[in-house]
């Protein structure tokens, strides 16, 4: 029997965002485990518990999501999770504090689509200045 797809969701806040939980289930994860009040110092041990318990094959069906509202802290937490991994015990880890990174990526995709439509070119090799749009969504 194959191991289920599990997503461990870490946030420094009291609660994981219901939006993020919904997105995880809608993406196909069979188990979504929320962890609130997670400190930066806890990321290493939590990551290692998640990876070593599943074995080299099970880690392919394991993910870590880092939420929260503070972009800098989320980036530090992402680094801490990555630094706790030991090949071949590596999982996908993603951070998106209050949608800041996915919203920014969507904006870049929209700009590139419009650039292609209006001018027949893409963003490759171009320098782009984005004014505004900083921080987590809703901040």
The Cα 122–Cα 42 span in angstroms is 41
Assess if residue 106 is contained within a domain. Answer: no
For residue 41, the tally of other CB atoms under 10 A from its CB is 8
Q: What is the DSSP letter of 86?
A: B
For residue range 42-94, list pLDDT tens digits in order: 999 999 999 999 988 899 999 999 999 999 999 999 999 999 999 999 999 99
Nearest 5°: phi and psi at 92?
Answer: -70, 135
How many percent of the chain have pLDDT more than 90?
Answer: 76
For residues 15-26, average pLDDT: 96
Assess if residue 70 is contained within a domain. Answer: yes
Assess if residue 53 is contained within a domain. Answer: yes
Residue 80 is part of which domain span? 6-97
CATH code, 24: 3.40.50.10280
How many domains is the chain built from?
A: 1
pTM given for the model: 0.85
> 66 in helix, strand or coil?
strand
């Amino acid at each position: 029997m194959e191991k289920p797809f599990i997503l461990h969701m870490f946030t420094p806040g009291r609660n994981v965002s219901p939006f993020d939980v919904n997105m995880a289930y809608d993406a196909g994860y069979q188990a979504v485990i929320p962890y609130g009040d997670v400190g930066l110092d806890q990321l290493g041990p939590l990551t290692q518990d998640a990876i070593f318990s599943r074995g080299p094959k099970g880690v392919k069906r394991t993910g870590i999501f880092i939420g929260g509202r503070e972009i800098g802290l989320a980036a530090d937490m992402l680094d801490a999770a990555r630094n706790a991994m030991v090949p071949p015990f590596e999982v996908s880890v993603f951070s998106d504090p209050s949608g800041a990174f996915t919203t920014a990526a969507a904006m870049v995709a929209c700009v590139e689509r419009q650039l292609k439509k209006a001018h027949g070119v893409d963003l490759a090799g171009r320098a782009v200045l984005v004014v505004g749009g900083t921080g987590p969504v809703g901040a």
